[in-house]
Amino acid sequence: MSPRSSRRWALAGLLTPATLLLAGCFLVPLGIMATYSVLSPGLYGGVEWEFYPYNYGRVLGAPLGDAEEFDPVYAGILLRSLRLAAVTVVVCLCLCYPAAFWVSRLPGARKNLVLFLVTLPFFANLIIRVYAWMLVLRPTGVLTRAFDAVGLGAHAPDLMFTEGAVVIGLAYVLLPFMFLPLYASIEKLDPALLQASSDLGASPLQGFLRVTLPLTAPGILGGSVLVFIPAFGNFVVPALMGGAKVMLVGNTIEQQFLAARNWPFGAALAMLVLGIILIAMLAYAWRFGRVDGAVRP
């Protein structure tokens, strides 16, 4: 065998397992889901094989030219999910930006220790990190007891099962996704540039707005995408901390599959989530060239 053709065989051998896995357990399932989303729901679960665009019409209504099945509840759920995901991104950003700055200025050994400490909770089970905040926010929880202890018991906020609780839970779980890309871009920032801007007469605020912010923008955007995506589709946090009061699109999809048994409608909702995420990612990739640049800008 010539070396060239043996290299070809090696390549084929290396790629075959991934090809089978991605095609069989990823692309085909996504294709079936896309197909389901335009089929009619069966009377007792399952699907009828006929073209049925109203699954999307139920959420989007008029844009499809048919408002017959339109129910504003679903558009509202979609908008609320987008809003809470955006708020989560802002909360994570505000918490992480100064913290990442702080870590980047620590001396060597301590910097490594703190980076280790920041990364470690990321490996803890997600359900346990959510549970930790349930302990804090539940009506008889740590927060209420803390207010009681300082004599402000009457003013203790009842946060459990509110949008606030969902944002707190999401932000806590997703913090590392914001911190690491931010840290990566802040770490690369040359302090001499800030020094130069202040030598040339810029105020600290001007220095921040004109030098620091633009140079760390890739980290900000990368972190925002990485937090936004899982926050938007999440259903564990809203199910445990939002209860029935804060329905997000993730819970609605889950309900359609496991309770309402309207799979085509659930599939259509999932396709809408996927579409919104893809638009966000394409916008990001178009701006910064690479999709995987999010982690290492």
Partner 1 sequence: MNGAPASRWLGAWGVGFLALLYVPIALIFVYSFNSNVVNMMAWEGFTLDWYRSILGLPTQLAKSDNYVQSTATLLAAVRNSLVVATFATLVSTAIGTATALAIARHRFRLRRLYQGLLVLPMVMPDIVLGIALLIFFVSLGLDLGLHTIIAGHCVFLSSYVFVVVSTRLAGMATDLEEASSDLGASPWVTFRRVTLPQIAPGIAGGALLAFIISMDDLVITYFIAGVDSATLPLFIYGILRRGIKPEINALAMLLLAFSFLVAATGLWLRSRRQ
Residues between 56 and 85 with contacts to partner 1, criterion CB under 8 A: none
Among 164, 234, 262, 297, binds partner 1 (CB under 8 A): 234
Could you tell me the smallest distance in angstroms from the CB atom of residue 229 to partner 1? 6
Q: Which stretch binds partner 1 (CB under 8 A): 49-57, 151-159, 216-224, 231-239?
A: 231-239
Q: Which stretch binds partner 1 (CB under 8 A): 49-57, 59-67, 100-108, 181-189?
A: 100-108
Q: Which stretch binds partner 1 (CB under 8 A): 71-79, 114-122, 151-159, 216-224?
A: 114-122
Ordered DSSP codes for 42-98: PBTBSEEEEE-THHHHHHH-GGGT--TT--HHHHHHHHHHHHHHHHHHHHHHHHHHH
Could you tell me the smallest distance in angstroms from the CB atom of residue 92 to partner 1? 11
Could you tell me the smallest distance in angstroms from the CB atom of residue 50 to partner 1? 17
Residues in region 18-57 near partner 1 by CB under 8 A: 18, 21-22, 25-30, 32-33, 36
Nearest to 180 by CA among 109, 91, 92, 84: 92
Q: Which stretch binds partner 1 (CB under 8 A): 52-60, 64-72, 181-189, 229-237?
A: 229-237
Tell me if 17 contacts partner 1 by CB under 8 A. yes
Report how far residue 113's alpha carbon sits from residue 103's, in angstroms, rounded to the nearest whole number: 10
Among 64, 75, 136, 215, binds partner 1 (CB under 8 A): 136
Name the residue with tokens 């549970």: 131
* Nearer Cβ to partner 1 (67/148): 148
Q: Which stretch binds partner 1 (CB under 8 A): 50-58, 62-70, 136-144, 149-157?
A: 136-144
Give the 3-state secondary structure of residue 289: coil
Binding-site size for partner 1 (CB under 8 A) equals 85
Residues in region 161-180 near partner 1 by CB under 8 A: 172, 175
Distances (CA, A) of 204 to 94, 191, 218: 18, 13, 21
Q: Which stretch binds partner 1 (CB under 8 A): 49-57, 58-66, 132-140, 149-157?
A: 132-140
Pull the structure tokens for residue 76: 């509202």
Could you tell me the smallest distance in angstroms from the CB atom of residue 68 to partner 1? 26
Give the 3-state secondary structure of residue 45: strand
Tell me if 253 contacts partner 1 by CB under 8 A. yes
Tell me if 196 contacts partner 1 by CB under 8 A. no
Report how far residue 55's alpha carbon sits from residue 71's, in angstroms, rounded to the nearest whole number: 11
* Nearer Cβ to partner 1 (167/240): 240
Tell me if 126 contacts partner 1 by CB under 8 A. yes
Dihedral sign for Cα 258, 262, 265, 268, please.
positive
Give the 3-state secondary structure of residue 246: coil
